[in-house]
Amino acid sequence: MRPRRLLRRRPRLVAAPRRARRGFTVVEAMVAILVLAFGVLGLMGTSGALTKQISVSRRQMRAASLVRQRLERLGAVTNCAAIAAPGVPLTGTATAAATGVVERYTITTGFMTATLLDSVTIPPLKNPVVIQSGIRCQ
């Protein structure tokens, strides 16, 4: 019989535990940049819409101020017949030369009331702001 050879086992190489990695991988950085870019684009879109809305509200405030002034002048008149003949509309146009604001108004009187239809066009916009108001006469 032959003597058996003893098989020696090689010692197993065990990998040392990896240290916690510091920093980010390139993929993680790219994903973070992509998320940030979408966020910034969303903010830019919202900012544009907000700027437009502020512009429209300023325009409406200026128009409302002009209409309020016209109503105050008409409110000082207590007799509707003094404003215009009943059933016959009174129309007029006022233009502010310095600003280019154009106001067109129509006043219609009825029994104990007067109706003011005022349209104000504020440059550079073409569409007027139209406001209709009623006045009680005595």
Q: With bands split at pLDDT 50, 70 and 90, how would you rate the model's confidence at 35?
A: very high
31 assigned to some structural domain:
yes
64 assigned to some structural domain:
yes
pLDDT, averaged across the chain? 81
Using one digit for the tens of pLDDT, what is the confidence trace for 86-134?
777 888 888 887 778 888 888 888 777 888 888 888 887 778 888 888 8
73 assigned to some structural domain:
yes
Q: In which region does residue 129 sit, left (phi positive, over 0), alpha (psi from -120 to 50) or beta (all else)?
A: beta
Q: With bands split at pLDDT 50, 70 and 90, how would you rate the model's confidence at 43?
A: very high
9 assigned to some structural domain:
no
Using one digit for the tens of pLDDT, what is the confidence trace for 70-86?
878 777 776 777 777 77
8 assigned to some structural domain:
no
Sheet holding 90-95, edge to edge: 90-95, 102-109, 113-121, 129-136
Residue 40, domain extent: 26-136
> Whole-structure pTM over 0.85, yes or no?
no
Domain count for the chain, please give it.
Answer: 1
Which carries the bigger pLDDT value, residue 27 or residue 113? 27
pLDDT of 37 above 90: yes
Please give the distance of CA 47 from its chain centroid, rounded to a whole number: 8
17 assigned to some structural domain:
no
